[in-house]
Amino acid sequence: MFQPQQVHHTHCCSENGNTLHHPFSLLCWNVYKKNRDDKRFATFLQNVDADLLLLQEAEFKDGEPCRVEGYSYDAAANITFGTSNYGVLTASRYSAIETKAYLSENRELFFATHKSLLLSRYILEGGNSLLVANVHAINFRENSAYGKEKERILNFLSSDTGPLIVAGDFNAWNTGRGKKLLEIADSLGLKQVPLGKEDAVKSMFGKPLDFIFYRGLELLEYRVLDDGGISDHRPLFARFGV
């Protein structure tokens, strides 16, 4: 079975409340379904000590806590196989006050699976809210389908005027996809964390796939981390002030 019977999954274990403290850090990583079976995964993330973990291709099971101690998580499943679900997962040391899970309208070729999107909202110090979009974009489809999915994400986010982070694996592996992605980012007033192929960001056909975009925040630090080969993507790290 590939189509999920349940899209939105959640597990709360945070004892830190729902106010995201200043400054805060974020790690964005396509984990290549390795977060449950690779024993190095939890140790690596605990050493990074990020406040928000935006994972793509994550594996999770109903009722199972996050493999990284002290984090709550919400997830949007796009695949179910046996007792495992796979999709985007956003884990945090702080509880989200609102989450919404979505599936893409278009499906991938071959297995006809959707891709997933998760929106999570957190309270920032000072009272503003931060909306975080964890994205795994459609891959094996024509550019027109890719563009429609990006427009759909724009529609989800366009009514929100506060601080915003949009990050994930965007599969922007050709010029048309990259152009569309940057158009959407510009429409939302987003800045790009300046990491690319030259920084060892996962790339295809010379085009980076993973991005972090942000708005209404101060970018304090950013880098690509060496995960020691846990995944075929390297983790992107950023620290923000409010």
Q: Could you tell me which residues come within 8 angstroms of residue 197 by beta carbon, excluding any fewer than 6 positions away?
A: 203, 206, 207, 208
What's residue 106's pLDDT? 94
Check: CB of residue 14 under 8 Å from CB of residue 93. Answer: yes
CA 99/CA 12 separation, integer angstroms? 12
Q: What is the pLDDT of residues 107-154, one digit of tens each?
A: 998 778 999 999 999 999 988 999 999 999 999 999 999 999 999 999
**Model confidence at 205, in pLDDT bands (50, 70, 90)?**
very high
Domains of the chain, CATH where assigned: 8-227 (3.60.10.10)
Cα angle value 6/10/16 (rounded, 5°): 170
Q: Could you tell me which residues come within 8 angstroms of residue 144 by beta carbon, excluding any fewer than 6 positions away?
A: none
Q: Is the peptide bond before 208 cis (omega within 30 degrees of 0)?
A: no
Which of 64-68, 78-82, 168-172, 194-198 tops mean pLDDT? Answer: 168-172
What's residue 175's pLDDT? 97
CA distance from start to end of the chain: 43
Tell me the pLDDT of the chain averaged across its residues.
Answer: 93
pLDDT of residue 14 exceeding 90: no
**Model confidence at 201, in pLDDT bands (50, 70, 90)?**
very high
pLDDT of residue 239 exceeding 70: yes
The number of residues making up the chain comes to: 242
Residue type (1 letter), 8: H
Q: Which of 132, 142, 206, 216 is nearest to 180 (CA)?
A: 142
126-135 burial: b if 16+ Cβ within 10 Å, else e: eeebbbbbbb
Q: What is the pLDDT of residues 15-69, one digit of tens each?
A: 667 788 889 999 999 999 999 889 899 999 999 989 999 999 999 998 788 888 8
pTM of the model as a whole: 0.95
Residue type (1 letter), 183: E
